[in-house]
Structure 1
């Protein structure tokens, strides 16, 4: 698995969707999805690209199981979390309806960051 490439591709996917929301908000004058737009671009695009660059700059980090775990702990839960945020902001679900799915996704993403830290401490030389 080329973790750096996978983070680039998934990050670019998040960016396309995030920019799409930005265009929608600008064209409609409805900015209720601004937090989703920000999460798509920051959690999805920016973090994914930073992770991709780290794995490219420190190839020893990318050649580990930790890198693979990190990818799977960041991207799929990130997608779930962003879908939940969309459902909340569109009024489809309430905050109570986000439990337990959104908190689990958040914990998994946090776990991915911890895995990234462990990998960096061990292999970023």
Structure 2
């Protein structure tokens, strides 16, 4: 797995969806999904691109098994959280019904970031 490429591709998918929501909000004049738009672009696009550039800049990091774990621990839980946020903002679910899935997804993303840190300490310096 080319980790940089994987993060770029996944991030770009999130970007397309995020921009789509931005266009929809601008055209409709309804900004109910602004939090989703922001999270799609930041959690879904910006962070994966930062990760991609870091892995590209430090090839030893990208070759580590930690990189693959980090990828899956960021992309899958992020997608879960973003779908849940969409459903919440659309009124299809309540905030209470997001428990325990949303906190688990958040924790998995945090574990992925800790693996990224461990990988950086081990392979980037």
CA-to-aligned-CA distance 1:82-117 (integer Å, 9 cap, x gap): 000001000000001101111111000011100000
Q: Counterpart of 1:95?
A: 95
Runs of 4+ in structure 1 over 2 Å off: none
In structure 2, how many angstroms separate the alpha carbons of the residues matched to 1:50 and 1:99? Answer: 29
TM-score w.r.t. the length of structure 1 is: 0.99
Q: Counterpart of 2:25?
A: 25
Q: Counterpart of 1:52?
A: 52
Query: 1:53 Cα deviation (Å)?
Result: 0.2
- Give the alignment of 1:61-76 within 5 angstroms: 61-76=61-76
CA-to-aligned-CA distance 1:1-20 (integer Å, 9 cap, x gap): 11110000000000000000
Secondary structure class of the residue paired with 2:56: helix
Query: 1:72 Cα deviation (Å)?
Result: 0.6
Q: Counterpart of 1:121?
A: 121
Query: 1:73 Cα deviation (Å)?
Result: 0.2
Aligned length: 125
In structure 1, how many angstroms separate the alpha carbons of the residues matched to 2:85 and 2:70? Answer: 22
In structure 1, how many angstroms separate the alpha carbons of the residues matched to 2:94 and 2:43? Answer: 22
Residues 1:112 and 2:112 are matched in the alignment: yes
Instruction: Please tell me the root mean square deviation across aligned C-alpha atoms, in Å.
Output: 0.5
Gaps of 5+ in 1: none
Query: 1:75 Cα deviation (Å)?
Result: 0.1
Gaps of 5+ in 2: none
TM-score w.r.t. the length of structure 2 is: 0.99
